[in-house]
Structure 1
């Protein structure tokens, strides 16, 4: 195995993989929401052990996930308008 190849020996870069960012953001947000529900159910135990901050961490994760979902949706619509404008 060689760590460096001259430009003449390199193969072309592969095409980027297509992925739906909405699914990834939704999955992460759903996991934060599950964590928030669990933390709210056991909040007395968390408070007695000094881990009540986990509730706020999960709530922050949910809020950031919702913000990311809005961002992904807006950028997806903009990209759709740009490609529609370019093709007409």
Structure 2
């Protein structure tokens, strides 16, 4: 068994698989939006919500939205 193959013995690399980045980013943004609603409802009910949790959810939603616009405009 050899660990190194010569260039002529190697198989060609497979073509890259097609993926829809916008759909994945949209699902992620919806998940962050649901988390934001849950955090806001919990804070209005009277539960103690850490500011780090709220900021994490907002930043995740903002970054996902930026990624969604970038992904759609890149095509």
Whole-Å Cα distance in 2 between the matches of residues 46 and 26 of structure 1?
29
How does 1:36-55 map onto structure 2 within 5 Å?
Answer: 36-43=36-43, 44-47=46-49, 51-55=50-54
State the number of aligned residues. 73
Uncovered stretches (5+) of structure 1, i.e. residues with no partner: 77-88
Could you say what the CA RMSD is over the residues aligned between the two structures, in angstroms? 1.8
Uncovered stretches (5+) of structure 2, i.e. residues with no partner: none
Determine which structure has the larger helix proportion and give its number.
1
Q: List 4+ stretches of structure 1 deviating above 4 A.
A: none
TM-score normalised by L of structure 1: 0.71
